[in-house]
Amino acid sequence: MASKEALEGLIDSKILRVLRLFFSNREKQFYLSEISIESEVPAATTIRVLGRLISLGIVKLIQIRKFKLYQLEENEKTRLLQSIVGGKK
């Protein structure tokens, strides 16, 4: 589908890798290091990507004392994004 490829071309590949990781594991909560390793995105970049996704309401931050966990939000935004960029349902 050409329109899907065009939209994917507008989104940074590192953001796409992080998003696809979350879409493939909708219920899972991740540590920063897990996201970085599994998406093959450097940790510093992963922090910036997560900050942006949190501010957009796509990912939620779960803080337990000093530990931070990240999980995909379940809302209309995430459903729309999944239909555009793919990943398992």
- pLDDT, tens digit, for every residue of 30-63? 999 999 999 999 999 999 999 999 999 999 999 9
Per the structure, the count of domains in the chain is: 1
Tens-digit pLDDT profile for residues 74-83: 999 888 888 8
- Residue 55 exposure: Cα atoms within 13 Å on the Cβ side: 6
CA dihedral 12, 14, 62, 37 (to 10 degrees): 180
The residue segments making up the domain with residue 76 are 2-84
**Does residue 40 lie within any of the structural domains?**
yes
Does residue 89 form part of some domain?
Answer: no
- Examine residue 11 and state whether it is found in any structural domain, yes or no: yes
